[in-house]
Structure 1
Amino acid sequence: MPASQARIPTGRAERYLNQLCAHISKLSRTDLTGAAPLRHGHGEGSADSMPRRVESSGPGGVIDFGWGRCTLRADGENLVLHAEADDQQGLQRIQDAIAQRLERIGRHDGLTVTWRPTPPEAGTAAPADDPKSAAAIIEALTAPAGRADPYPLYAAAHRIGPVLAVAADTFLVCGYAAVNQVLRNPGFGLPDTAPNHPEDAADQAGADALRSMSRSILRTNPPDHSRMRSLISQVFTPRRVASLQPSVVDAVDTLLDRLAESAADGRTVDFMDQFAFQLPVTVICELLGVPPADRHRFRRLASDLTTALELSGGATRPEGPADAAARELAGYFTHLIGERRNAPGNDLVSALVAARDADDGRLSDEELLANLILLLVAGFETTTDLLGNGLAILLDRPDLAAALRSGQIATAGFVEEVLRYDSPVQVTTRVARADALDVEGIRIPTGSNVILLLGAANRDAARYPHPDSFDPTRTGNKPVSFGAGPHICIGNSLARLEASIAFPRLLDRFPALSADPAHKPTRRDRLVLRGYQTLPVGVGTSHAHSHHPGTPHRRSRPDPADE
């Protein structure tokens, strides 16, 4: 039986449910749409197009035609509709009639009804060889072509539904509302990715990378996550991030100087290598207190370490570069922690070392080390990709570059749309850790693995009209690129600050900035962290330093590489 579902966000779900049922009940002696009669079937005007039964009671209701029905449920801040019929024509008839009436009733609140095919019941996934199945989508996403361009596969997932059963204990979530619900629901937690006891590690090959991350706020569950995040938030405050603005401006202008020098005489430069990586690594290292002379080594180490986050990764995978990177980073920060104990500074490493040494149980040695590695790696990996993805869009759309340069487009709106349109983080995972969990009407059994397609959620037509169009003037743009709920990226405001300073100053300094037709850009071969490996550009004639509205004047400072 064809079926579909709609979830309408509204703070007055129960009121609209009862109002809709009462309205349709009055029409039960006539055709629901008031259209001209048809000769036969359950088309408009036929006898069986009239509702046979309309009932509502508090948070529930039903509109029954005999050959099909619509059930209604007020679920917190959402009105949930479920329609089913004997055939597709009948289902379309119910969808059109209910949507028309409800949108008319809720016109003052701007209610919009978007129907989606109902996903299969839990545990009844489509055959894996079905190209429309969730299993086939996952397989395609982890293949080279899917990693290079996942968006057609996201669109295919949306056509099936917001929650897709891959297997009895695995679900793929692509709808914006569904992803947001899972991220914010404490019943969903992080999977266990490392041995619980040190003696178990000997039997677990290649566990160093996953073990390192598993003791940080990235991969822990309450109460450990809450305890550590509360502590780190005290030293990684919005005020501290805001105070970095002059330093970010200085770093941007210094890197633009170097970019101009490298591009002298029309030479091609790699934006990723000479700017997109250099800016965030400079900022996060200054915040942490990492000496400038050490910063060059982190790009390779971070790239290697984060391969452990890919969907093809796992705790039993063989020894690889990720584990070697985890050990090297652990060794580096162990040495730096020792230095800061002897000579504390005004930096995050010193602050967290002091918190650890307070010996009040808030942070263990292993947790201190794991979180410092996380802050370093996460502090520039996603920002590097945000800068590269954003510039690639501007190179492809000179009209947008001109509008951003002139101030016709707000920088903040542009940055948010880059995050939505081509998210630096595309996928994350959760595990159902509570009973009776429900996402978009689908029951998620305890212990189930949930794969959240953040990039797909950001392109959900139910949340964003024309989702495949880049529109920096969108209103209400709230991408889930940095997550949501208790695990939202702690450095998301820093990434936004760096991008909002970098893009206008880059465009102002190089008005003739363009893609290099002789050298094609290359993408990183990743799904979870999406960005460019290389992005060759020509900068043309450089303007002298000019003050951009909304940012402080550049102060003289030495080159970060020479400090």
Structure 2
Amino acid sequence: MTDIVESAETSTLLDELTRMPGREDPYPRYHRLREISPLVRAEDGALVATRYADCAAITRDPRLGHMPSHMLDFVSPGWNDHPALRQLFTSILTINPPDHTRLRRLVSSSFTARRVQALRPTITQMVDDLLDEMSGETDFVTAFAFPLPVNVIGELLGIPPADRAQFQHLVRDWTQVLEQINPAVLETADPAAATIRAYLSDLAADRRSAPRDDLISALVLAEEDGEKLTEDELLTMAGLLFAAGFETTTNLLANSLVALLHNPDQLALLRDKPEIAREAVDELLRYDTPVQLLTRVAWEDVEIGGIAVSGGDRIVAYLGAGNRDPQRFPDPDRLDLTRPDNGPLSFGGGIHYCLGAPLARMEAEIAVPALVRRFPELRLAGDPVRRNSLTLRGYTSLPVNTGS
């Protein structure tokens, strides 16, 4: 057994990740943290893991879970009075078994592989339509990376096309609480979360009276072993699926394009061999993952990376760091779309493995090869603007020139 490291250097590295430019390029800091120790302690007491094997184990170990309500009351007093926190902390993203098991079973009965695969022709057409509208200098986030996934998840859920665009800023305001929780953040996050919930409440009421072939209707009707989603569970689930359905995929598409433009040999390879799309998306997910970290709590004494962890300790698994671990990925800072034995941590693992992973993968596998084929002269037209966030890593603006 070795000791948990807490030093001036680790504090400095972790502090830099909370600010720009540390968030612009966190990977050198991840490398240094990984060299220092399997686990380091942050100033707030949380333990930080940066090695692939440890991060993978953290996502799967049943002795590690999400923060129970009595701990939430201590860490975020009054959380239940804030719509933004209540809808996050009671969602399938952050609850534990047995409630998580029941909700996941009910949602999985509606959010099926068949329903996702049925969207493939629709996604292909959406991609073509958006590419048809791109010409000359444009912002890739505004023109493509946001409208594609928001329309895909909107189509899946049954949100009318005219209503979808309003949710970009609402979801971004709400998901600020994933990064930090303070009065200033809650001042914008709470009304955003309340607006989203009110909209979905009206939509669910409409589907109860007149069901359609969409996921909202399926969730309204979902039943297994005599159990159904309560109204509160339904609205919380629909809000999470909608927000996660486009926020992370928008980041995946933008991160992928920047990575390819900075590695023209790999961009040319994908253009010439679109059949490697699945392997390419795995590598793009690994290289600059849209979700950089997740948090767990030890429910009992455990061992991580040869270090004893006490029950009650909070643990942060830096998935983005694990995805650049040289012990798992040779030459990890190199983008290699044909990398063998890939296995990125980007969708988490265990019982909380991302429900929407197959949909996000399919969108990227269709969209990215089509984009680079359509615009062989595609290039940056200015400096991309990173969002000021580490947990959700992406861009707020990505100016490009299509060359057409």
| Same-fold call, TM cutoff 0.5 | yes
Whether the 8 Å CA contact 1:420–1:479 is kept in 2: the answer is yes
Q: Considering only aligned residues, what root-mean-square deviation do their CA atoms show, in Å?
A: 2.3
Q: How far apart in 2 are the matches of 1:206 and 1:388?
A: 35
Q: Max radius of gyration: which structure?
A: 1
Residue 472 of structure 1: aligned partner: 337
Q: How far apart in 2 are the matches of 1:293 and 1:168?
A: 44
How many residues in Structure 1 have an aligned counterpart in Structure 2? 402
The one-letter amino acid of 2:6's match is A
Q: How far apart in 1 are the matches of 2:388 and 2:212?
A: 39
Residue 534 of structure 1: aligned partner: 397
Tell me the TM-score normalised to structure 2 length. Answer: 0.94
Residue 300 of structure 1: aligned partner: 169
- SS of residue matched to 1:374: helix
The one-letter amino acid of 2:181's match is G
Q: How far apart in 1 are the matches of 2:79 and 2:94?
A: 18
Task: Give the number of the structure with larger relative contact order, counting CA–CA contacts within 8 Å between residues 6 or more apart.
Answer: 2
Q: How far apart in 2 are the matches of 1:378 and 1:121?
A: 37
Q: 1:126 and 2:6 equivalent? A: yes
Return 5+ residue gaps in structure 1 as ranges. 1-117, 542-563
Q: 1:386 and 2:258 equivalent? A: no
Whether the 8 Å CA contact 1:193–1:211 is kept in 2: the answer is no
Tell me the TM-score normalised to structure 1 length. Answer: 0.68
Whether the 8 Å CA contact 2:274–2:369 is kept in 1: the answer is no
Give the 3 Å change call, closer, same or farther, for CA 397–318 of structure 1 in structure 2: closer
Give the 3 Å change call, closer, same or farther, for CA 136–338 of structure 1 in structure 2: same
Write the mapping of 1:40-439 to structure 2, written as runs, cut at 5 A.
Answer: 121-122=3-4, 125-127=5-7, 130-131=8-9, 133=10, 135-166=11-42, 170-192=46-68, 203-204=78-79, 207-259=82-134, 263=135, 266=136, 268-310=137-179, 312-313=180-181, 319-355=186-222, 360-407=226-273, 410-433=276-299, 435-439=300-304
The one-letter amino acid of 1:513's match is L
Give the 3 Å change call, closer, same or farther, for CA 489–154 of structure 1 in structure 2: same
| TM-superposition CA deviations, 1:10-57 (whole Å, max 9, x none) | xxxxxxxxxxxxxxxxxxxxxxxxxxxxxxxxxxxxxxxxxxxxxxxx
Whether the 8 Å CA contact 1:206–1:319 is kept in 2: the answer is no
The one-letter amino acid of 1:443's match is A
Q: How far apart in 2 are the matches of 1:136 and 1:202?
A: 28
Whether the 8 Å CA contact 1:215–1:371 is kept in 2: the answer is no
Match of 2:326 among 461, 473, 476: 461
Return 5+ residue gaps in structure 2 as ranges. none
- SS of residue matched to 1:332: helix
Whether the 8 Å CA contact 1:174–1:457 is kept in 2: the answer is yes
- SS of residue matched to 2:308: strand
- SS of residue matched to 1:147: coil
| 1:421 Cα deviation after fit | 0.7
The one-letter amino acid of 1:174's match is T
| TM-superposition CA deviations, 1:115-167 (whole Å, max 9, x none) | xxx8x525xx424xx11x2x333222112222221111101111112222336
Q: How far apart in 1 are the matches of 2:278 and 2:50?
A: 26
| 1:511 Cα deviation after fit | 1.6
| 1:295 Cα deviation after fit | 0.4
The one-letter amino acid of 1:278's match is P
Whether the 8 Å CA contact 2:93–2:352 is kept in 1: the answer is yes
| TM-superposition CA deviations, 1:300-323 (whole Å, max 9, x none) | 01111111101x326x77632111
- SS of residue matched to 2:204: helix
Q: How far apart in 2 are the matches of 1:484 and 1:203?
A: 30
Write the mapping of 1:429-508 to structure 2, written as runs, cut at 5 A.
Answer: 429-433=295-299, 435-508=300-373
Give the 3 Å change call, closer, same or farther, for CA 225–242 of structure 1 in structure 2: same
- List structure 1 runs of 4+ shifted beyond 6 angstroms: 193-197
Q: How far apart in 2 are the matches of 1:296 and 1:139?
A: 35
- SS of residue matched to 2:186: coil
Give the 3 Å change call, closer, same or farther, for CA 202–179 of structure 1 in structure 2: closer
| TM-superposition CA deviations, 1:435-472 (whole Å, max 9, x none) | 23111111111111001101000001111111111111
Whether the 8 Å CA contact 2:177–2:186 is kept in 1: the answer is no
Give the 3 Å change call, closer, same or farther, for CA 403–272 of structure 1 in structure 2: same
Q: How far apart in 2 are the matches of 1:414 and 1:162?
A: 29
| 1:215 Cα deviation after fit | 1.7
Q: Where is the helix percentage greater, Structure 1 or Structure 2?
A: 2
Whether the 8 Å CA contact 1:227–1:362 is kept in 2: the answer is no
- SS of residue matched to 1:144: coil
The one-letter amino acid of 2:3's match is E
Whether the 8 Å CA contact 2:6–2:40 is kept in 1: the answer is no
| 1:170 Cα deviation after fit | 2.4
Q: Percent identity?
A: 43
Give the 3 Å change call, closer, same or farther, for CA 471–330 of structure 1 in structure 2: same
